[in-house]
Each structure stands twice: as structure tokens, then as C-alpha cells.
Amino acid sequence: MRVRVPLLAVSAAAWLVLVIQPHEAAVCMMPSMRWTPASLLAASALMLLSMMAPLIGAPVLHVRERSFASRRLRATALFVAGYGLPWLAAGAVLLYAASWIVSKESPLLSALTVAAIAAWQCSPLKQRCLNRGHAHTELSAFGVKADLDVLRFGLVHAWWCIGSCLGLMLLPMLFTRGHLVLMAAVTLWLIGERLERPMVPRWSWRGPSHILRIAVGQARVWGGPKPALR
């Protein structure tokens, strides 16, 4: 709970900003949008906090469990820095690319982009990225090596996370209306993907089947006939 609650609180705060001030947060993907480096980084950071914060509970817990109590705060900060910096750059590129695609107002270009996203979702490389995202490396306990190990772990985890998430994160930005709803749906989808077990990389459709089975099972439990009271 010491890991999950703060991460969910950060994500909830970012989502609140997106809902209350979408224009000021530079989230509305309008053809007339003119990005500056500052606005790109700000929007990328907001997207990172809202969508990615719920996904890093397991690696943050791994860092905390393998760090002495006196080093946990520093180790967590180093991991977050290593994870966040690549994502800031990737998110900025993603936002700029989405703005360019939308500005063209070409249904064919948008359709080709969606097709490319679907192809990546089915590709063996996507599964490889998901598999590697489950890998949590050993971390040194003392000194500078411990700090470097945690920072490297954040960088490596970000790399595989970008590979598995970037395509789906582009999808909501292709729509000028309803993109916040799609962002929320993609976030839930990505959370569900993290609950799947590693599988052999091959061409196949993949999605959060585990969490869907749980949802269907719970719906049957709550929606089924109730036992009669005697």
C-alpha cells in the first residue's frame, strides 16, 4: 500500500488536471496546435503521470524490497528518474507526431496509423517487450554501484515499457473528440496487460484477457441468482 497508494494518487491528480483544464494542459489534439519545447515536455509529463504511474508499482516495490531502509527513498527517486527521462522524450515525440498526423486531416493517413498500431499489437516484438518488462534485475546493496544499478534498472524498464505501450498511447491522440475517454480506456488496457503472464513471442492478437476473465467472473457472481433466505 505504501507503493500503490502514492502512485494512484499521483495518477488521479494528473487525470484531474486533464479533465478540468484540457486546453491549458495541451492535451486537445487540434490541427492548429503549435508546440513549443516547454509545452511538449509539460504535456508529455502530464501524460506520463496519468497513464504510466499506475504501471510501475511492481518495479518500484522491487527497488524498495531490495534496498536498505536508509536508502529506499533515494533508490526510489533514482528509479523514477531513470524511468521518467526516456518517457518524457518519447512522449514529446509521440505528441508531436500525433499533432502532425491530425493536422494533415487525411483519413487514409489516420487509417494507416491505426493499422500500424494494430500490427504492432500483434507482433512478436510487442510480446518480447512485455516479457522483458516482467524482468526485475538484481540490485547492489551498497555505495555508488547500488545507485547506478537502480538508475540503470529505471532506464531499461522504461525502454521495454515504451516498446510495449507507445503504439496504444498514440491511438487516443488521433481523435480530436473523446480522446480523454480513449486515454482512460488505453490506461486500463495497459494495466490489464501487466497482469498477463510472459508468453512465447509470436504473431497473435494479445490483450488483457486475465483481467477480462476476472471481470466476467465477478459479473456472474454479482448478477447470478441470490440464494433464498430461510
The Cα angle at residue 38 between residues 106 and 176, in degrees rounded to 5: 30
Query: What's the predicted TM-score (pTM) here?
Result: 0.87
Say whether 63 sits in a helix, a strand or coil: helix
Q: Is 214 left (phi over 0), alpha (psi -120 to 50) or beta?
A: alpha
pLDDT at position 32, please?
Answer: 44
Each as own residue / partner, the long-range contacts of residues 133-137 (CB below 8 Å, 24 or more positions apart, any chain) are: 133/157, 133/160, 133/161, 133/164, 133/194, 134/198, 136/58, 136/59, 136/62
Give 220: exposed, middle or buried? Use CB within 10 Å, 0-12, 13-18, 19+.
exposed
- Tens-digit pLDDT profile for residues 177-204: 888 899 999 999 999 999 898 999 999 9
- Tens-digit pLDDT profile for residues 98-139: 888 988 889 999 999 999 999 999 999 999 999 999 999 999
How many helices (H) and strands (E) the chain has is answered by 9, 0
Higher pLDDT, 226 or 17: 17
Q: Which three cell numbers stand for residue 25?
A: 494542459
Q: How far is it, in rounded angstroms, from Cα 168 to Cα 186?
A: 7
pLDDT band at residue 213 using 50, 70 and 90 as cut-offs? low
* 169: pLDDT strictly greater than 50: yes
**Average pLDDT of the chain?**
87
Q: How far is it, in rounded angstroms, from Cα 113 to Cα 214?
A: 32
Q: How far is it, in rounded angstroms, from Cα 221 to Cα 155?
A: 42
Percent of the chain whose predicted confidence (pLDDT) is above 70: 85
Instruction: Return the exposure string of 51-86: e unless at least 16 CB atoms fall within 10 Å of the residue's CB, then b.
Output: bbbbbbbebbebbbebbeeebeeebbebbbebbbeb
pLDDT band at residue 28 using 50, 70 and 90 as cut-offs? very low
Where are the extended beta strands (E) located within 40-182?
none
pLDDT at position 76, please?
Answer: 96
- Tens-digit pLDDT profile for residues 40-64: 888 899 999 999 999 999 999 999 9
Whether 79 and 60 have beta carbons less than 8 Å apart is answered as: yes
* 92: pLDDT strictly greater than 50: yes
